[in-house]
Every structure is written in C-alpha cells, then in structure tokens.
Amino acid sequence: MPTYFVTVDGEEHQVELQQQQDGLYQMTLDERARQVDARATSGAALSLIIDGVSYDADIELAKGKADDDLTRRLNVRVHGAVVPAEVLDARSRSLREIAGAAGAAGGRQEIIAPMPGKVVKLLVEQGAEVSSGQGLVVVEAMKMENELTSPVDGKVTSISAEAGTAVDGGTVLMIVE
C-alpha cells in the first residue's frame, strides 16, 4: 500500500492509499481508515466523496522550487479556499531524513547508499570542491535513478564507489569534508 507524507499548515500527516476498484479507495489518514470515491472531472480537478461527504478539489503544482527535488508542492482548492500542501512518498521522505541528518552534523560527511542498488554514474572526482546540494553520485534502485547530493560545502576526500557496481544499502560511497 503506497504511503505518503502530506504537510499542511506545518503539520505532517501519514496517508496510505489502497485502490479497491475503479475510483474507490481505502485511505488511512493518520491511522484512521476512510472510504474515498475519487473521480477526475477535468484537468487536475477531482470529485471526491470521503466518508459520504462530497468535495470538489482542484489541484495544481505550486509555483517556485521546493527546498529539495523530492518534495511536490501543491495548491489544493476546496470550497473556494486554497490549501498549500507538500507531499513526499515514503522513499523520498527517507532520503530527506538521511540528507538532513548528515547536513545537520557538519564536518566529515559520509554519502551513503540509502538502499541496495547499482552505482550508475559518479558526478564528481576525488578532490573536487562541492557545494551543499550539488549532485555527487547517481544510484539506481527499484528501477529509479536517485541522485545523491552533498549535504555540505566541502571537498570530496574519498570515493569508494565505481560506476556499474552493485552496492548494499548503508554502503559509504563518498566522503565530503
């Protein structure tokens, strides 16, 4: 069952969706189960019936770039009110937590494979000066390419990964100091 983390007004909510049949879903919002009938009406507009209550929602991507490339920022218009929301899937949330923990620590930073996969491409060489947020290595996992970025400004002091090789989750790929 796909899990998403939706932040509205600074408060994070866990949402799980399971399709039961065409347009009908079992949604768990913060551990509370709800029945949802969702139908696309036009463009990004949805007609929703949640636990018997009807809603019309227009969804649009928010203008401007999110703080990272993992977050989807949306503006949801319901009953004339616009509600800004940020959405992360479970994988992206884990990647953000790893990056945030590393960035908060400062000093020597290990760039770690977040899950088992294959190193597709090294984006920097040993000795390179890098900026916080700069791409360092691309790892393919679950048929998706994930660009791992530097959590800090610094210098790549060690590279232990090679393009084309398989890695386990938790493997140190590079060190930035």
- pLDDT greater at residue 9 or residue 98: 9
Reply yes or no on whether the pLDDT at 9 is more than 90: no
Contact (CB, 8 A) for 143 and 115: no
Structure tokens at 121: 């491409």
In the chain, where do the E strands start and end? Answer: 3-8, 11-21, 24-29, 32-42, 45-50, 53-61, 72-78, 81-89, 109-112, 117-122, 129-130, 135-141, 144-149, 154-159, 166-167, 172-176
Helix (H, G, I), strand (E, B) or coil at 146: strand
Count of CA atoms in the C-beta half-sphere (13 A) of 98: 20
What does the pLDDT average to over 11-15?
A: 92
In this predicted model, what pLDDT tens digit does every residue of 55-114 receive, in sequence order?
Answer: 999 988 876 544 455 567 888 888 888 888 888 888 777 776 766 555 555 678 888 887
What does the pLDDT average to over 161-173?
A: 91
Q: Which domains does the chain have, with CATH numbers?
A: 3-89 (3.30.700.30), 107-176 (2.40.50.100)
In this predicted model, what pLDDT tens digit does every residue of 123-141 receive, in sequence order?
Answer: 999 999 998 888 999 998 8
Locus of tokens 């000093």 = 107
Output the pLDDT for position 65: 46
